[in-house]
Amino acid sequence: MAFERNTIKCYDEFQIEWEVSKDNEDWESIGVSTNVLYVTHDRPIQEAIPARIPFPWTVVNISCHMAGGLDGDGEEVMSAIYSGAFRKNIQGQFKGTKRVSDDHALTYYANLPPKEECPADLLEMIRVGDGRCGTWAYFLKACMDVQGIQGAEVVAVFPSGPSAGASSIWTDQELADIVRIIENKKPEALAIEIPNRQKVFLVKNWMDVSPGKLIHLEDADGQPNTTDLRGYETAKSDKGESGIVEQGVPSIEDPRSIFANHAVVFFKNKTYDPSYGTKYPNSHARGIGQFKDSSLLASEGVIVYVRTHELKHEWYYYVHSTSNALQFSVQ
């Protein structure tokens, strides 16, 4: 059987009739096998996956199913894969990106507070069923890589300022100024600390957010967080609206909303955000600006620890700015 050149295909029931011959002249039928068969546009690009490890079955299945019948035009393939598996519809609902082995819906930061670190590795994300923004971005990129189509880039987005990897950090003077401001707001505090120098930003939808505001962070049960910093992942305001729907978890009203960075995919002058199922028609600076306008509320803030009693401490999000610029770095 000859396949169409450069045409992507997925055969859910590809049958092979097997025969055997003892003399290479007389052939005897010995049965028929039925399997799934994937045909890619070109030789897969293996850079995103460790050497000698094949692409995950889920990646190959989604890529070939969604782009089946296309001849490898990059924009058409990306559009088909993204719209079919990652994009949020006009009602804010996801079609569902599912693990092929058991039809389990994959999610973005759904298990909060996490029992273990949210996977940053694509293979581990598919095994666990939950992943962070960078993992979702590499997931989308891998769907293009498996077709041998060049050009998809994973890009980190983070607040402007001195950078440390894929995040920005506060200067000593900025941190000192912030602590003084909070001391005036919390005169009863025995201690005020900023345990992490990273600048963080706040995802919509929150209400009553303005520069200089201290937002009390709560744990998953809506109680003041008095345990550790990881409680900020379920941060919500007591006046807040439901947060922006995330990949695979539309039932969570208050998804994780505070991040030090975010990851998107640039391809052919478009920005794709698989974590939130959105697409922007421009890449790089303009695409990031659209991401900020549609998804972010406060683009610069910091997590603050306040101890008001020997046995009691609480966490807050301090809003430093709602209009500061973002920057990006190709990963």
- Report yes or no: 7 and 17 within 8 Å, Cβ to Cβ: no
pLDDT exceeds 80 at position 329 = no
Q: How many CB atoms lie within 10 A of CB 292?
A: 18
| Closest of 45, 39, 28, 36 to residue 63, by C-alpha | 39
pLDDT exceeds 90 at position 282 = no
pLDDT band at 244 (very low <50, low <70, confident <90, very high): low
Q: How many CB atoms lie within 10 A of CB 115?
A: 7
256's tokens: 């994780």
Specify the pLDDT at position 50: 55
pLDDT exceeds 80 at position 48 = no
The amino acid at residue 326 is: L
Write down the domain spans for the chain.
Answer: 9-150, 156-330
Range in 102-106, 171-175, 208-212 the model is least confident about: 208-212
| Closest of 134, 141, 177, 180 to residue 158, by C-alpha | 134
Q: Strand pairing partners for 33?
A: 16
- Report yes or no: 262 and 154 within 8 Å, Cβ to Cβ: no
* Whole-number Å distance between alpha carbons of 182 and 184: 5
pLDDT in tens, 76-87: 999 999 999 998
